[in-house]
Structure 1
Amino acid sequence: SISILAASLFIGLFGVNGQWISIVVTSLVLFLAGEAIPKTFGVTYPMQVSSAVAPLLLLISRLEFPIVAALEKTPGLILKKLDQRKTRETDVLMEDEFKHLIDAGSREGVVDESQKELIKTIFESGDRPVTDIMIPRVEMFCLALDMPASDIVREVVRGRYERVPVYREDRDDIIGILFARDLLNDTLRRGESASIEKLLARPYFVPESKTINGLLHAFQEKSIQIAIVVDEYGGVSGLVTLEDILEHLFEEAYGDDDAANCECDVLDANTIIVPGKMSIEQVNELLQASLPQDEFDTIGGFVLHLFGKMPERGEKIHCEDYHFRIESVGKTRILKIRIEKEKQAPSEADE
């Protein structure tokens, strides 16, 4: 509006050339009045200028707040509604597009076959539930809240744990996650603490149906590295860490035969010693067997079912063509099992 008034004034005084004079004069006045002079005063007398204009700016801010808030929130609400409807579709679309890009790269020689299989395996294994990779409840290292601080420090240091679940009454009552760095820093700064409760981080609980990919995204969004897995009744089933997820993804991608072999002792072609936590699928691959995989996840669970009780070290049992001998047990689980395939009697034709 100032430019229009100035242009009208100078055109009236100087004719057609007045518009150019108006541009020069208006620019100079705006620069001096709107930039140079206010900034010079502000820099020279900062406290006086701030004190003088602060009440006016505060009043304007309060008057404009309802309008500004409405303008800020309205687009956000609309975008949030649209995002909720399209998130799942977008995720699937992005995954499919990425797979197509990998296929195209493989055809053109940019991505070799091993890299292609690696990426596809990671996508596929990510849809499995977290129960496939979690540390079972019986194997979880937890601390009781009422333990003496000195005992807690000793256990954490001895086990070299970075994150430890802490419970109040029992393992179904986990109230927080204790970080080793926080515990040690507090101990060094204040000596032996009376209670660790103030050091606990809020636990993150996930259902057994949570997928590995879903949990990995949650870890990224919340900047955490550990989750407690609970069943439908709220009981603790186990825990999963970021390390467990990464280890699982790369084992799946590169093949877990090496992992299976390094966990067991192969005595001969028909005899192996395996940990109770080894999956029945891995045992079947090692022995070319067909032990049932549908009802049991681990060989320890299967053998425990065969005994019908917690067996003792040295006990044996026979099933199908295999002899199972307990090599070692814990309080509530089988640690190691010796599996021996029954030797087949020679047939009459062989004789």
Structure 2
Amino acid sequence: MFMINHCILPAMDEIRRTALKGRGAISNESSRFERERRVLVDDGWDARGEDGREEERGPATVVGDDSARTAITRNASPDVPFDQSLNPYKGCEHACIYCFARPTHAYLGLSPGLDFETRIFRKKNAAELLERDLRAKNYVCQPLAIGANTDPYQPVERTERITRSVLEVCRDFNQPVGIITKSALVTRDLDILGPMSERGLAAVAISVTTLDRELARRMEPRASTPARRLEAVRELTAAGVPVSVLASPMIPALNDHELEAVLEAGAAAGAVGGSYIMLRLPLEIKDLFEEWLREHVPDRADRVLSLIRQARAGGLYQSEFGTRMTGTGPIAELLSRRFKLACRRLNLTGRRWDLDCTQFRPPPKAGDQLSLL
């Protein structure tokens, strides 16, 4: 079986794709910028094991290098609580089917489907670039979000350690940093995050989409289990790191009934703040998510899509500031009300990015004249 341009060999039979173990997306359609359409066909060389059964062969993860020229990305969105961010990786092996970052792989000429979760690009010189950015004469210190697009603690970080090298730069510059992740690997860096938190320079937000391990395994197959994420909240809290729990995304008729339970579990583990986002389905994610629904929860697929449309003004997505994160209409309003009441009851009122920027100081470089202060 292999991929071909649909126009070359029309006589071959197209194979229906099915879910692959450890992967979120089912298909690997071409990006919106490409002219061809990818299809999976049977070339007659079927892959069978010694027992005669067809072997399940999912695509392996391939890691390449990203040629970034700067570390910090800036935004002016009123919907997010930070103005600058850093992403050590493009693509994410966690394979969350709902990930709003999937369409960015199209800019690389790759598919937002399986390519996004199997073709990972690392920013090997992220720490070096960050140091250069922080030393710039026109740099004005403000909190730096790490992982705003793709997870900084996805599996490849265990060996690449790029996120850790970035944190070491933040520590040396007293640069306040907020981390967004759904991986328990964040606790590896407690030796950096703990001391920074004591000085008001670090905070972490842990995403807990569901407490149902089976649903999590299908929806975000290579992320830490919900129980392990909550344990990470406990470990971070014990080390003095302020943690928020993100009940995101909330998906009507799939996990939205867990909103209060997720917030309660986070509060019990020590979280001081909470947040949520209504499911977002921009660009290619709409088709990827519907395909996933019909494969994994076919009895609820139409119901879920209908409720999403009711919360998105009749469509599957709203791109306008102010509504793209929360939706509109009675369903969205009820979810917002439930969230506010739960946070008030659980005292999840801490601000996610309430960090101290006054301590920022670039350390002297080798050869610099020493200060008399």
TM-score (norm 1): 0.22
TM-score under structure 2 normalisation? 0.21
Higher-RCO chain (CA-CA 8 Å, sequence separation at least 6): 2
The structure having more radius of gyration, on CA atoms, is 1
